[in-house]
Structure 1
Amino acid sequence: MVSVSTLLCLAFATLVIAAMPIVTYRKLRPRFNIAPREAILGIGVFALFAMVIERALHGFVLGNPLTSGWLVNPAVFVVYGAVVAGLCEEVGRFLAMKWLISREPGALDRHGPALGLGIGHGGAEAWIVGVLVQVQWIVYAVLANRGTLDAHFANAPLEAIARIHLVLLSLSPVSAGIFIIERASAFVLQLGFSALMWQMLRERSRHALGVLIAAHALVGLPAALFQARLVPLIAADAVYLVLGVIVAMALVRYYRRAAAGRPSA
């Protein structure tokens, strides 16, 4: 059984994360002249490069006896996970921004494209990786409370059903808080990555893609370390909470200067 208080907390957390990119877009769109296509492009980048290309690459690597054998080493697994995530997402972000610039060279004079892409990219991640998954677990919890969960998985292996029950037993109001921290921090970091790459492109930097891949990989290390069971979840989330706060403060300062027409440096 999952308590009513836990279900309410999980539902509230899910609604908060679901609303986060929508509210951010609606609030910032008129101020920074964000075009809808910029947010849509960000959504497409995450869907294609993170959900299709990155997952296909994982499938190939894990399905190959040679490469999967290398990943048994925790250090290799951590480096692989962090680098691949940074490579796929930042190449997608870079290509999207280059496409926008080729279509509208004057876009570099605006700050809206970076925000639009970041909101779309981060919002897609929040919904696909966060909201939809969380809704699934809420539904499972309701079915379990009604005693009909096992009947809905009558054809599933017993091991899979047992794992679902274990996850449901671990749900609590604290889980809802952790969910908000993880997804909100990820959203803020995506805004930060987009702002940084856009600023480097505005400065005609030749190192924008390399810097962003490295930055994304470094930020992904705590998650990779947790997946490799080298650090506890609370430690990884604590890092992301701190990073999220720092990046959020930097973004507020950066875009306040941009809105005031002052140099961003």
Structure 2
Amino acid sequence: MITGTVSTISIVMMGVAAICSIAIPLLILLYLKKKGADVPPFLIGCLVMLVFALILESIVHNIFLPTPVGKTVQNNILMFAIYGGLMAGLFEETGRLVAFKTVMKQFRDKDINAIMYGAGHGGFEAMAILGITMISNIVMSIMINSGTIGTVTSALPAESVDVFIEQIQPLTTIAPAAFLLGIVERILAITIHMALSVLVWFGVKNNKLRMYVLSMLIHAVFDAVTVLIAKSGIAGAEYITEVVIAIMVIGIVFLARKVWIKETKRTVPSVIR
């Protein structure tokens, strides 16, 4: 049984986060378009994230994780972090590589299209993860407050009820401001996707496969470190995670900036200065 209710301010913060998950990618799209980027690369980025991460990667997880080896991996935080990081890096960076070698060929005349693609890739992730999560949280919160959450638990198998309650009970205790952390996290994630897109972009343009491998390793390490901190049980882990992510983002953007200057032999555009 759920105890307590969800505060109105918490529900408002969830709504703000959901709106931002859509508004931020669209604002970046408009900004980059103003800077001369084409719109299709943004849409291609969205499609690649959907196909390679949310569909293909999920299929692999659904096949592997229920196996004995998969269950062993899930029960070991370090192994699970490494596995998750490698899978994310493999599928998402491969998706980037495939897109840049095929449908993005016609947009290679403008290097800024690499950033536009990254905005779409990370933007769709923000809408799919933060947006849908917050909308679901709002629905669950309203049902908790109205006392109708029983209609959901009564429809679940008996063995799943406790798990469901354990998942949504925190909605009644989480500080309202904590829901805004998701906005910060998604902004940082979009920034990383734009930076990694620059690496793979120039790797494809200049036939340097090592740039793809580098981006895949960076992505894997980034995700693994994030999971390790989040699952560490350290007090304030959610805030520590954002600080560590921000530091890593600065480093990845700095690297992308250096690659841009080296590969184009010119100053980077204002969008990544």
**TM-score if structure 2 supplies the norm length?**
0.83
1:112-151 to 2 correspondences below 5 Å: 112-151=112-151
What is residue 236 of structure 1 aligned with on the other side? 241
Distance in 2 between residues matched to 1:196 and 1:165, nearest whole Å: 39
2:210 alignment partner, one of 197, 203, 207? 207
What is residue 31 of structure 1 aligned with on the other side? 35
Contact 1:45–1:93, Cα closer than 8 Å, also in 2: yes
| Structure 1 residue 83 corresponds to structure 2 residue 74 | no
Distance in 2 between residues matched to 1:161 and 1:176, nearest whole Å: 20
Assess, with a 3 A threshold, how the Cα gap between structure 1 residues 93 and 149 changes in structure 2: closer, same or farther. same
Distance in 2 between residues matched to 1:125 and 1:78, nearest whole Å: 19
Range 233-242 or range 183-192, more displaced: 233-242
Between the two proteins, what is the percent identity of the paired residues?
Answer: 22
The count of aligned residue pairs is 257
Distance in 2 between residues matched to 1:89 and 1:213, nearest whole Å: 8
Range 216-225 or range 45-54, more displaced: 216-225
Q: Deviations over 1:193-225 (max 9, x none)?
A: 112221333333131221111111111122221
1:1-265 to 2 correspondences below 5 Å: 1-36=5-40, 38-101=41-104, 103-104=105-106, 107-156=107-156, 157=158, 158-226=161-229, 228-229=231-232, 232-244=237-249, 262-264=266-268
SS at 2:35 equivalent: helix
Q: Can you give the 5+ residue segments of structure 2 that lack an aligned partner in the other structure?
A: none
Query: What amino acid maps onto 2:245 in structure 1?
Result: Y
Distance in 2 between residues matched to 1:82 and 1:160, nearest whole Å: 25
Q: Deviations over 1:2-61 (max 9, x none)?
A: 11122222212221222000111012113223132x122111111111111111111222
Query: What amino acid maps onto 1:42 in structure 2?
Result: G
**TM-score if structure 1 supplies the norm length?**
0.85
Runs of 4+ in 1 over 4 A off after TM superposition: 245-255
Contact 1:189–1:247, Cα closer than 8 Å, also in 2: yes
Distance in 1 between residues matched to 2:257 and 2:123, nearest whole Å: 18
Q: Can you give the 5+ residue segments of structure 1 that lack an aligned partner in the other structure?
A: none
Q: Deviations over 1:35-92 (max 9, x none)?
A: 32x1221111111111111111112221221343355343322211111110111001
Contact 1:34–1:115, Cα closer than 8 Å, also in 2: no
Deviation at 1:253, TM superposition (A): 9.8
Q: CA RMSD in A?
A: 2.7
